[in-house]
Structure 1
Amino acid sequence: MSAPRTRPGEETWPGEWVAERLGVRLADGGGHAGAGLADLVGLAVRRNPRRAHLLVSAVLGKHVPTDPRLVYGSGLLLGVLVRERLTGERPGVPADALTDALRGTRTGAAAALRDAAGEPRAPLDAVVVGYAETATSLGHSVADALGGAYYLHSTRRPVPGFATYGGFEEEHSHATSHLLLPADPGELDRDVPLVLVDDELSTGRTVLNTIRALHAVRPRAHYVIAALVDLRADGDRARTRALGEELGVRVDTVALAQGNVELPDDILEAGQALVAEVLAGEQEQPLLPQERVTRVDLEWPEGLPDGGRHGFLPAHREHLEKALPAMAGLLVPHITRGRALVLGFEELMYAPLRLAEALADALPDVDVRYSTTTRSPVLAVDDPGYAIRTRLAFPAHDDPADGPGERYAYNVAPGTDPGRAFDTIVLVVDGAGDTPALAHGLLARLSALAPVVVAAVPSFRRRGMGDT
């Protein structure tokens, strides 16, 4: 069993609470980057009758506000491992770079990881596909590490003017409809390796379904599955090998760490009972809105997509790199002290991540963190041994195709620990999410915690149909 480990600012492993009450255990299977499974994940309890537990990543920046250089560096490192599988090229990243960044063993370790994993290398052509919502920026980061890759992420948002290339189902998800909406389908039809990126592989069924569906449309010789953690059992790995043999293709898998999650037989019933018990004693206090909201025009470059929903080319990446310092510079005057959070919005993860990274470099005396809002309903328990300490709930604000619903921002409110409070919150949303519902919902919740800076990124649209 993986021994509990602490990460910077933690006295206990943020999985102990669930392990003690539900009997969930992590069996460490090692990894390519020197970090074990418990280094990379904590545990929480889902409010979902189909799955009881949730692995909460320490390096994804989804549910846990994290140093953006650690988030981006981990994604780049995963991309370096993909490059190794595609070319045989050795990673060239110090073996202890990831563990140093996770454990804060030396000053500047997160930036050092990012710089080592992001060192310029020869561009490598590939198609990279990331899964919404959690892996949209992770897939971007993997594509960045390859240099010459085209990137596309799946989406749950139908967009007028974009035809569906394919769809696939994520069986354990609470919202399962995924779409691929490339602006140029020809980019997916090229005979280059296809890399599928997700934050975790539990059984691998989702990626195998994707390979089968996309191979039927455009066969290719080589697929790589990339994830932060690989939790597949022997039978799941056998299914991956069998699909490769059936299709006559090579299917490789890379991950930062491997292992298994050991669950008791009654995990679903015990999980639901635990959720009911905690919620019965919950007394969430309403947060009164305050008028502490400022808007900043990022001067987002014309023609630059807001992310990979409709495709992101190497030229787009170069354009963004050049524009980032100036855009971050517009935010700097609003972040003067203490702790600052850059909060992204559901699938919009990459642009907020890169802005947060640029701010962290520009403001060395400010503790800049990054996370995003999410659709995922998770139980919050304000305990150091639990990964989701606090929860802000608010109504959806982007007119979602599947109808209105509740959305969440985790670990943003400080709870009982004032040291976890943020002095400034920078909310980055796209045009589709910048609505009156945002002002009356999430913004009201956030502005009760700290001054909020709103930075809207124009949603990418085909010319003639709105923003471009």
Structure 2
Amino acid sequence: MNNSTLSDSCPSTHKHTFPILGNLQVTVTPTYNPFNLPLDVLFSMAARINKKRSFLFVSKVLGKHIPVHPYTSMLSGASLALLLYRELIGREYQAQTDALLEQAIQGLRNPELAEEAYKKIIHAQLSSPVPLQFIGFAETATALGHSVYEVFADQAAYIHTTREDLPALTSVINFDEEHSHAVAHRCYARHSGLLTGEEIVVLVDDEMTTGKTSLNIIRDMQAKFPRSTYFVASLLDWRTEQDEAAYAALEAELGIAIKPLCLLKGSMSIEGAVELKPSDTALPDGRGDARVNVLHMGEIFPSIEAASVDSAGQLNDSPYLLATGRFGMRSQDNAAAAVQITEIARRLRGMRTREDSHTLVMGTGEFMYVPMRIAAEMGGNVVYQSTTRSPIHPSRGPEYGIQSGYGYPSPDDPGTRNFVYNVDPDQYEDIFILFERDVPPERAEPFINLVKKLAKVNVHLIFFTGKRHDWKVLNA
């Protein structure tokens, strides 16, 4: 990468060995660190219940598995956007972004500076010299992809892939994420012109391990919407020389350029192993007296009618939000969505037990970015995370990334187990759970009963579409 201020050095270029559980350990050797960030700013480690890979880099900036300052997460996406912008404008114009880059670095290092850094980048109104199509990978990178896209004031569009099956719609892109526990990705574009082949495509994922997911989508896209250039942006890039050779081979085969961007690149080696079974942290008996408040906000955001079908064949006909990007959105849509987010944040802020109460805002599944943005505007002492499909083993060991974990059947699909990590009883006075769509109360009951045992005072259920059911039964 050609630039004037970014470093390709690392604060510690020697190997970093992370003991995880038992005799399992991972050794990381950084090779590229453009923001010169300490590794512990970006991630910690945990054991994962997955036959294909037994450990997980637990991101400290993503806002998925563990609570983070919402502006930290948004800034991580904005930082990737700055790296992309510098690639697009050419070296002779890069000095104009030096101050923004320095603020991004300081904001990532210090959460107290993240809000100011993020707002400076957004207010810069960066203009892309070429049309850009951003694609965020579900489930984990839907918010990250949106955060990268929203930095660009014009000539940008965003869509994220989904694991949800919408039988009445046709997916324009189909590919598999081979290492994941939920491999199939779909992509439902509301406008047929969203992908034309004229845009530069920017694929956004939280982590590249082998990079095969990106190769799979590029191959599918190139057969349908051929173009010359793809960027692949991620927080972490662990591809080996063999993996990089696979990228070069696909470039040569298809006659395209594939350009990676990341906050940290390196190599890793694994020693030892650990045998794990799914394990939830036990909650104390006699808890569960937090008050449940239910609010439907269907009148705030525009929505789209689309029914989903779960693994058991049951339909949910509650609409989806347009502001998530699941069906595609463009730069000109951002201003209206920002007004709507601010209005909802104002309402939810007034529902907090106190102005400074310890508050957790939770997105659910793929519904991450809108809740994250709302959390950012709800005042101080607010952190954000999302529920997840990832089965991670909790342990109270020092420096271990996942200290507690609770599993439950997903309200959207009881055949899928979801998890909440690193939330302890009485840690938060208020827990806000933001659902994109209404679901039957009986499906959500296991999740709600769990969160009632975690919140100290209030659990707030916020639904954005589909007032289909009577939720009064929860406090009966």
TM-score by length of 1: 0.85
Residue 458 of structure 1 and its aligned partner are, at CA, apart by 2.1
1:357 partnered with 2:376: yes
1:388 match: secondary structure: coil
Conserved 8 A contact 2:131-2:198:
no
Residue 185 of structure 1 and its aligned partner are, at CA, apart by 2.8
Cα distance in 1 for residues equivalent to 2:147 and 2:135: 11
Cα 1:284–1:391 change in 2 (3 A) is same
Cα distance in 1 for residues equivalent to 2:381 and 2:107: 15
Conserved 8 A contact 1:305-1:316:
no
Residue 206 of structure 1 and its aligned partner are, at CA, apart by 0.9
1:189 match: secondary structure: coil
1:440 partnered with 2:445: yes
Cα deviations across residues 65-89 of structure 1 (Å, max 9, x unaligned)?
0000010011111112122223325
Conserved 8 A contact 1:17-1:385:
no
Letter in 2 for 1:237: E
Identity %: 30
Q: Which of 160, 164, 170 lines up with 1:163 in the alignment?
A: 170
Conserved 8 A contact 1:306-1:458:
no
Residue 283 of structure 1 and its aligned partner are, at CA, apart by 5.1
Residue 93 of structure 1 and its aligned partner are, at CA, apart by 4.4
Conserved 8 A contact 1:130-1:153:
yes
Aligned position for 1:405: 416
Cα distance in 2 for residues equivalent to 1:261 and 1:174: 22
Q: Which runs of 5+ in 2 are unaligned?
A: 1-8, 304-320, 467-476
Residue 3 of structure 1 and its aligned partner are, at CA, apart by 8.3
Residue 63 of structure 1 and its aligned partner are, at CA, apart by 0.5
Aligned position for 2:112: 108
Cα distance in 1 for residues equivalent to 2:396 and 2:104: 28
Aligned position for 1:305: 322
**As a proportion of its length, which structure holds more strand?**
2
Conserved 8 A contact 1:428-1:456:
yes
The range that moved more, 221-230 or 449-458, is 449-458
Letter in 1 for 2:73: V
Aligned position for 1:462: none
1:208 match: secondary structure: helix
Cα 1:103–1:384 change in 2 (3 A) is farther
Aligned position for 1:327: 344
Cα distance in 1 for residues equivalent to 2:235 and 2:21: 21
Cα 1:447–1:19 change in 2 (3 A) is closer
Correspondences of 1:68-107 after superposition (within 5 Å)? 68-88=70-90, 89-90=93-94, 91-104=97-110
Letter in 2 for 1:348: F
Cα distance in 2 for residues equivalent to 1:169 and 1:423: 40
Cα deviations across residues 315-354 of structure 1 (Å, max 9, x unaligned)?
3222111222211110111222332111000100111011
Residue 311 of structure 1 and its aligned partner are, at CA, apart by 1.1
Correspondences of 1:406-425 after superposition (within 5 Å)? 406-414=417-425, 421-425=427-431
Cα distance in 1 for residues equivalent to 2:350 and 2:246: 53
Conserved 8 A contact 2:125-2:152:
no
1:377 partnered with 2:391: yes
Letter in 1 for 2:445: H
Q: Which of 186, 191, 195 lines up with 1:188 in the alignment?
A: 195
Cα distance in 2 for residues equivalent to 1:31 and 1:397: 40
Cα 1:240–1:391 change in 2 (3 A) is same
Letter in 2 for 1:388: I
Cα 1:94–1:63 change in 2 (3 A) is same
Cα distance in 2 for residues equivalent to 1:332 and 1:212: 45
Q: Which of 115, 118, 127 lines up with 1:122 in the alignment?
A: 127
Conserved 8 A contact 1:27-1:261:
yes
Cα distance in 2 for residues equivalent to 1:50 and 1:287: 39
Conserved 8 A contact 1:28-1:259:
yes
Q: Which runs of 5+ in 1 are unaligned?
A: 5-12, 460-468
Cα distance in 1 for residues equivalent to 2:173 and 2:300: 30
Cα distance in 2 for residues equivalent to 1:20 and 1:85: 43
Cα distance in 1 for residues equivalent to 2:262 and 2:432: 31
1:342 partnered with 2:361: yes
Aligned position for 1:10: none
Aligned position for 2:382: 368
Cα deviations across residues 382-438 of structure 1 (Å, max 9, x unaligned)?
234111111121111113xxx613210111225xxx7xx111111101115x33145
Tell me how many residue pairs correspond in the alignment.
Answer: 426
Aligned position for 2:313: none
RMSD (Å) for aligned C-alpha atoms: 2.6
Letter in 2 for 1:251: I
Cα distance in 2 for residues equivalent to 1:411 and 1:233: 31
Residue 17 of structure 1 and its aligned partner are, at CA, apart by 4.8
Letter in 2 for 1:452: V
Aligned position for 1:176: 183
